[in-house]
Amino acid sequence: MSKQLALIGLATALLPASVKAPASAQTITGAGSTFVYPVLAAWAQAYQREHPGVRFNYQSIGSGAGIAQYTAGTVDFGATDAPLTNAELAKVPRPTVQIPIVGGAVVLAYNIPGVQTGLKLSGDVIADIYLGKIRTWNDARIQRLNPGLHLPPLDISVAHRSDGSGTTYIFTSYLSAVSAEWRDRVSFGKSVNWPVGLGASGNAGVAGLVRMSRGGIGYVELAYAIQNHLAFAHVRNKAGEFIAPSIQGAEAAAAAAASKLKRDTRTPIVDQPGRGVYPIAGFTYLLLQRQPQDERKGRILVDFVRWAMGPSGRRMAEELYYAPLPTAVTSINERELNLIRFAR
């Protein structure tokens, strides 16, 4: 555990550009997802050590802003937890491939005095908390799920993302899957009109808001909850199990959706059936030019993606609480990478 936490601290404290590189190094710029930042930063640092002529500069600004920068052509690649639809892809001025690079769990982090572990939540209860229908932690519906816990009569302080966010896309896709009222009133997306709560920018911002709020609850990527020493809930899955967020639970979600992913890697993997499945999981996608304007940068990015999907990248992902891609997805990624064309 200490090694894993140290790696998370390194990845979130330093930009990959902190690794020294020759003055003539090729700089690769990217922007987007905060969900993927801890592992992407660690990958970049390790890749740079193996390739001293390469330097990465990644801006962890949220999926929505990353897509905007990639579309504007101000960065070499984008990262988003909300894959682009066909209509969105049509608006990007350069032909683009979307490569799912890693999976992860979105957790319900909470700050309830006296309740450090063991909180159980179901999809309908989570949705009603975020709809503002359940307002206190000792509400009868939460207490029925947690007969062994003493839940205080404390107001629930809801936290959510204020920026365009792929983590929000994953979380609201889950809420839309488990709650018809949420689907009809709010729906899903990188940004939604939140019925209640306070907003913060990035996974780190939401984690900080929960940490500072008595009675707080917020959705963040697993590594951010661990780094901030936040408690997080077990969530009931379709099989009726209360599952703690984990690498294995996210991998099980991806495996349960394997047949659909073979047809389209943009298929959401939330609320999948099966035992051991953690129900709030998703992928981060890298946006790459199909016909790179800068051939050298394009070749570096293709090599970096293959490296990240390989043994070293997979091991680092697991150490940082991310789920490596299932074989079905890596084989599709290879097919997509082979479609990238260079001038020579």
Q: Considering the domain delimited by 105-263, tell me its CATH architecture.
A: 3-Layer(aba) Sandwich (3.40)
What are the tens digits of pLDDT across the range 249-290? 999 999 999 888 888 999 999 999 999 999 999 999 999 999
What are the tens digits of pLDDT across the range 153-206? 999 999 999 999 999 999 999 999 999 999 999 999 999 999 999 999 999 999
At 275, the amino acid letter reads: R
- The number of angstroms, rounded, from the C-alpha of 221 to the middle of its chain's C-alpha atoms is 6
> Which part of the chain has CATH 3.40.190.10?
2-102+282-337, 105-263
Contact 98, 63 (CB under 8 A): no
2-102+282-337 placed in CATH 3.20.20.70: no
Which residues of the chain are under the pLDDT cut of 50? 1-22
pTM of the model: 0.89
Q: Are strands 157-161 and 216-221 parallel, antiparallel or unpaired?
A: parallel
One-character DSSP codes across 260-280: HHHH-TT---TT--STT--SS
Q: How far apart are CA 312 and CA 309, in angstroms?
A: 8
| pLDDT > 90 fraction of the chain, expressed in percent and rounded | 84
For residue 240, give every residue at least 6 positions away whose Cβ sits within 8 Å of its Cβ, in sequence order, or none: none
